Amino acid sequence: MNWAEPFLQRLTHEPAVLITVERVQGSVPRGAGTAMAVFAQGEDGTIGGGHLELAAIALARQGLRGAELPQRQRFSLGPSLGQCCGGVVFLAFEKAGAQDLPRLRQRLQTRQAPVALFGGGHVGRALVRVLGLLPFDLSWIDSRDDIFPPDVPAHVRCEHSSPVQSAVAGLAAGSRVLVMSFSHAEDLEIVAACLRRQREKKDLPYIGLIGSQTKWARFRRHLEERGFAPEECARVTCPIGVPGVAGKEPEVIAVAVAAQLLQAGLATP
């Protein structure tokens, strides 16, 4: 999903054709505004795959070789195209080169939903790998030195914070918070800081805590002893991840948590 930056970097030294879904009718694989880039060799992004994409790529490559490139083309997703979606897609084609970089950079720049991930352990690392492929702007926070790997996606910011809960005050408004530090004591302080911020600003739409129902029962008791009302504690999701996913491997947990964010509509700022 984060294909725009590799495309723009490659465009600095190689021309391409940008294909955009201009409008749609009926059932189609991708919605209006979806785009992909076609180079003489290779592509970035996707408009939905299948014969629609193959036909669009063929037109784009003909244009790159000097043939006349249609500005717009209508595709009916029926038997003639080898697809059975039944809808209609209108594609726009445009040649692009290095001179178009400022315009295209502004056009393709998308808002990413902010996520704050507390914890650099095995599950945290797995989550960074999964969320790095999705429309999230990730802040990765831990109290330990030298915990972050040297190679993280460009839109992931690593932050050391001690005490770790002090980072909650500086989170972007609308942050989705995932709590999975190396210490239950740290987890409790992070959750408490999130609930205090939620009480004051009401700008954290998701507070997720890794752990079992037993862990959450203990945490809820401690939080209520600190003065948080039951309805405030109910803002916390624990356990995290979509229900019904078996397995406790870090990668399995990461996929389940990412699915929960997407399922709740939390990928849209």
Q: Indicate whether 269 belongs to any domain.
A: no
d(C-alpha 236, C-alpha 224), whole Å: 13
Boundary (domain end) residue, out of 80, 108, 136: 108
Name the residue range of residue 194's domain.
113-263
- Over residues 28-77, the pLDDT tens digits come to 888 888 899 999 999 998 998 888 999 999 999 999 999 999 999 998 88
pLDDT tens digits, one per residue of 125-177: 999 999 888 878 899 999 998 899 888 876 788 999 999 999 999 999 999 99
88 belongs to a structural domain: yes
Question: What's the CA gap between 142 and 186, in Å, rounded?
Answer: 10
Domain count, the chain: 2
Is 81 part of a structural domain of the chain? Answer: yes
Residue 71 forms part of a structural domain: yes
Domain finish residue from 108, 128, 143: 108
Can you give the CATH number for the domain in which 189 is found?
3.40.50.720
How does pLDDT run across 149-158, given as a tens digit for each residue? 888 876 788 9
User: 75 and 121: one domain?
Assistant: no
| Residue carrying the six token digits 């039951």 | 230
Residues whose CB falls within 8 Å of the CB of residue 90, separated by 6 or more in sequence, listed in order:
21, 22, 23, 24, 72, 73, 74, 75
Asked whether residue 171 falls in the same domain as residue 215, the answer is yes
Domain membership flag for residue 268:
no
Confidence band of 26 (pLDDT split at 50, 70, 90): confident
Domain check: are 83 and 125 in the same one? no
Query: With a threshold of 0.85, does the pTM exceed it?
Result: no
- Of the two residues 269 and 27, the one the predictor is more confident about is 27
Predicted local confidence at residue 49, as pLDDT: 83
- At 86 the pLDDT is 67
